[in-house]
Homo-oligomer: A and B are copies of this chain.
Amino acid sequence: MTEQTPSLHTLKVSCSNCSLRELCLPVGLNREEMAQLDAVIRQSRRLKRGEYLFRSGEGFRSLYAVRTGFFKTCVSSQDGREQVTGFQMSGELMGLDGISASQHGCDAIALEDSEVCELPFNRMETLGRDIPSLQHHFFRLMSREIVRDQSVMLLLGNMKAEERLAAFLLNLSQRLAARGFAANDFILRMSREEIGSFLGLKLETVSRTLSKFQQQSWLKVDHKHIQMLQPEELKALVAGCSQANSLR
Contacts and interface: CB of A to CB of B under 8 A. Distances in A.
B158 A83 contact: yes
Contacts of A239: 78
A76 B81 CA distance: 28
A147 B243 contact: no
Contact of A129 (B79, B106, B129, B147): B129
A123 B166 CA distance: 41
A158 B240 contact: no
A190 B52 CA distance: 41
Contacts of A145: 146
Q: Within the oligomer, what is the number of copies of this chain?
A: 2
Interface string A45-84: 0000000000010000000000000000001111101110
A125 interface: yes
B150 A97 contact: yes
A241 interface: yes
Given A78-B240, A125-B136, A135-B135, A146 B83 contact: no
B78 A144 contact: no
Given A135-B128, A153-B83, A157-B83, A242 B77 contact: yes
B150 A153 contact: no
A200 B240 contact: no
A23 to B, nearest CB: 15
Shortest 5 CB-CB contacts between residues of A and residues of B: A79-B240, A149-B149, A99-B143, A100-B143, A156-B156
Interface of A: 56, 75-79, 81-83, 85, 96-101, 105-106, 125-126, 128-129, 132, 135-136, 138-147, 149-154, 156-158, 197-200, 239-243
Given A56-B243, A81-B241, 9 more contacts: A81-B154, A98-B143, A100-B147, A101-B144, A106-B150, A129-B135, A135-B135, A149-B153, A153-B153
